Amino acid sequence: MNEELLAQARAWLRQDPDHETRDELAGVITRAAAGDEGAIADLEDRFRTRLAFGTAGLRGELGAGSNRMNRVLVAQAAAGFAAYLREKSDGRTPTVVVGYDGRRNSRVFATDSAELFAGAGLRAILLPRLLPTPVLAFAVRHFGADAGVMVTASHNPPNDNGYKVYLGGADHGSQIVAPADAEIAAHIQRTADAGSVATLPRSTDYETAGEEVVEAYIAATVAVAPAPAGTTGMRWVYTAMHGVGWETLSRIVKDAGYPQPFVVDEQLTPDATFRTVSFPNPEEPGAMDLAFARARRVKADFVLANDPDADRLAVAVPDASTADGWRRLTGNEVGLLLGARAARAAAGTPGASLACSLVSSPGLGAVAAHHGLDFHETLTGFKWISRAPGIVFGFEEALGYLVNPETVRDKDGVSAAVAMLGLAAEARDRGATLVDLLDELGETYGHFASGQVSVRVEDLAVIGNVMLALRTLPPTHIAGRSIASAEDLLQSAPGQPSGDVLRYRLVDGSRVIVRPSGTEPKLKVYIDARAESAESAREAVAELEAGVRSLLDERS
């Protein structure tokens, strides 16, 4: 047994204020000290590294140890972030807003953070109750705060939690980017190296925000798309996916003048166990089955679903060709619908732009060009999309949409839902559906289709090996189509997006992009095609998906 590892675990145990993780770790230490190989491996996994703080903040499995989400790690993160904010404050007292969702320990982590921020001399404001992530992003700007922290793991598995960081001021309430992430991480490490979190100053002299901030968010979101006069008869289904979206959205729907939805009762209120889904992400197979069943019973026109922290939106429409009679629209389809809506409203505005991540549909560029708007393609993540100059709308194919940049500089599944209700109501007024709107997109901007191949792995080294193999032995064709150009974004030109991304442009105009997921143990491949008809575009994507799977098998 590694005595240094045991000493590290015991030191962690002594500073842990949480009886549950303390008892958990004590048992592992006892078994490991007795030579239990499984316990030794468990201890090594918990302490061989620290859960990395990066541009997504912190996110990981709940449990004891430096490689887990727990009260010790959160305390170190809060104290380190406070030190960073004080360093950047030029003698002012920084203000930081803290929010939390309905996951296990979210409120505890948020309260710990507020106490530590206050103890470090900051003005700390805790949101009044569990709320959607977009409300926290809104609150950073509403209070003129220097920063915000949201305790959430979004759509991750039930036993995960996370710590998402925003910056105010010149960053306008966007998520952190480099070099701030590395600077904050360095302060966190110094805090961890300094000793026990039990010695960190705490104070209960933090503020709890009133309902006024929620009311202000609701009013701003209602203004995104008030219902057209006479909006009646629209039948739709909503699920909160066991998250925090419903209370806020239902008030907005009422104030905006839309008919209330039929709801999925089993998934309407926060439930940290996510008991009706194997994975609380509306993108995952089966996650929306209950919503589809409800929609069939009530003969709904469409379905809307938020993920657990309500920063993403899924949309589904009737489709007789599927086994259950419903089809979830892709993030690209929804993004183009909302992008075209924003472009029509912004046409003629100098400097106005649309933006999307480089793995999202190139169709948004065609929309921008059609309406004379600027277009920006960014790295993945709303920390980049939200910073596009002149942005009036941004999206990412992973169901994220920024429709109200003047109030929320992040993806917002609640305001996106209101915007979709507006589109559906306007279509209904002229006897059309959301499917008809998609057809009209193709006729106006060109027919685009997209697909994705996603490979989940147990060992992250597999992803690195596949990326290395693709770089070492580059493919010359995919699905019988020659590759016209290949770009490695690790070697991007100055001023261009840079990251662990491989982009292939094919001779027929199709595009294939390969990258590791930033939040899950997955290798993701994004496929886009444009053709003379929607059917031809879909056929091209299907052929490319099969070709990509063969390519990955060869390189694995």
Max CA pair span of the chain: 74
Whole-number Å distance between alpha carbons of 332 and 395: 8
Closest C-alpha among 63, 56, 212 to residue 133 = 56
Is residue 176 within 8 A of residue 165, CB to CB? The reply is: yes
Whole-number Å distance between alpha carbons of 447 and 536: 9
Closest C-alpha among 69, 221, 81 to residue 138 = 221
Phi, psi of 299 (to 5 degrees): 55, 55
Whole-number Å distance between alpha carbons of 416 and 249: 11
**Other CB atoms within 10 A of residue 123 CB:** 18
Residue type, 171: D
Our CA dihedral for 7, 8, 9, 12, rounded to 10 degrees, sits at 120
Which stretch of DSSP H or E encloses residue 217?
helix 212-222
Is residue 312 within 8 A of residue 298, CB to CB? The reply is: no
Given the residues 106, 154, 353, 361, select the one marked as catalytic.
Answer: 154
Q: How many residues does this entry show for the chain?
A: 556
Whole-number Å distance between alpha carbons of 391 and 389: 6
Whole-number Å distance between alpha carbons of 525 and 513: 5
C-alpha dist (Å) from residue 11 to 6, 116, 198: 9, 21, 12
Question: ω before 179 within 30° of 0 (cis)?
Answer: yes
Whole-number Å distance between alpha carbons of 330 and 104: 30
Give the count of alpha carbons within 13 A of 358, CB side only: 22
Please confirm, yes or no, whether 485 is among the known catalytic residues. no
Which stretch of DSSP H or E encloses residue 171?
none
Is residue 81 within 8 A of residue 167, CB to CB? The reply is: no
Closest C-alpha among 56, 17, 62, 60 to residue 184 = 56
Closest C-alpha among 105, 103, 77 to residue 19 = 105
Q: Please, which residues bridge with residue 174 across strands?
A: 167
Placement of tokens 């491989």 in the chain: 502
**Other CB atoms within 10 A of residue 5 CB:** 17
DSSP-derived secondary structure letter, 52: P
What is the set of active-site residues? 154
